[in-house]
Amino acid sequence: MSQRSCLSVILAAGEGTRMKSAMPKVLHAIAGLPMVAHVVKAAEAAGATGLALVIGHGADEMRKAVQKFAPKAETFVQEKRLGTAHAVLAAREAIAKGYDDILVMFGDTPLIDAAALAAARQKLAEGAAVAVIGFRPPNPTGYGRLIEKGGRLVAIREEKDCSEAEKKIGFCNAGMMAVAGNQALRLLDKVGNNNAKGEFYLTDIVEIAGAEGLDVVATEASFESALGINNRAELAEAEGIWQTRRRREAMLAGVTLIAPETVYFSHDTEIGADTIVEPNVWFGPGVKIASGAKIHAFSHIEGATVASYCDVGPFARLRPGADLRQRAKVGNFCEVKQATIEEGAKVNHLTYIGDARVGAGANIGAGTITCNYDGFSKFFTDIGEGAFVGSNSALVAPITIGKGGYIASGSVITESVPDDALAFGRARQKTLPGKGKELRERFASAAAAKKRAAE
């Protein structure tokens, strides 16, 4: 089958009114990725060499989104919604290119398993003209039933048309199917609209192909894989299923999740073996965690790279561009953005490091901030190897703290500091005996007068 070409036609024209959103339904995200992008990934994993997305509502928005996750996909607009067969035929130009296999999928089934798609394609390789993907829901009520005889699929029967015996069938239509490329357009063109809604139903090709003596079969996917999303409650359910799968994959790959149900991954999270993740950690898109790291509770990480044996959190935020080198430490209530924390450097607590480099072995004291933005532009702070920045310091960029430099606590540093130099950037302390009591009495008298005036 590896030599067979395959086009995946993904139907993504639904408006999704039940989502109560101005955004096209299939652009709502699972694990930080539009649900239709999950479908694209599954199609590609199943060997699809071409992609055709049939879109409708929000066509311009869809095209922009598609460029990000499937830049080579062709898009076709279904101007009128006249049924699923009509939607597939919107991609006639792509289908006519002569692919061996045509996979028909739906953009709102983000959990579809690539193995289920590959199994349907395998049936085509074995000679079937149509392979319908079915599933067994806990309760089949409302689903079309797959009617089989002698190992062949003879019909897809909507529940309202089922006999009492057919209603007891638990094998249901998932909507997706594989069709032989040399039969697809001919079968689709034979689909009529002689039904109550006057629509062209894709499911009709089962009986059309069967009447011609072509081989039509059914394959089976898991219930979760076939789950369609129509509202935000189902979107949350799908998110939960995806997260459960990903957590299990991570743990089987050697990652310790102390409270798995509280950890949230994104679609592209990479996390190495022997990493320990404490409860309530959120990984946004673009995160790479190397082996042996420790991510403490309530940390929020996105667009960041964390090297081996780093220590992050608790309550740390790593924003896009954060790059922690081996054995670096970013502690509680610290934020790092677009900055490199080099090997063994420590940013322990209550600190903001943005647009900066913190050299190897440097120590950043509590309450330190890099003042990197003047309201219009960003500027860089370079902190050298082995430097020590005292607590409650403000480093006003652009600025360089040299190798081994020492910044006194409470300093505002506006000029670069040479290697091994000590810098103070604060007013000299002055103590006035008795002035504290005098000031307190003055404030108390003013407050009392104000209260009397109010009465």
* Set 38, 267, 300, 349: catalytic member: 349
Cα separations in angstroms, 435 against 203, 302, 432, 438, 449: 89, 50, 6, 5, 21
Tell me if the bond preceding 418 is cis, omega within 30° of 0: no
Q: Are strands 145-149 and 152-157 parallel, antiparallel or unpaired?
A: antiparallel
d(CA 27, CA 66): 9
- Does the annotation mark 28 as catalytic? no
User: Quick one: residue 386, left, alpha or beta (phi over 0 = left, psi -120 to 50 = alpha)?
Assistant: left
Distance between CA 388 and CA 217 in Å, rounded?
Answer: 71
Sequence-separated (6 or more) residues with CB below 8 Å from residue 433: none
Determine the residue type at 135.
F
Catalytic residue ranges: 349
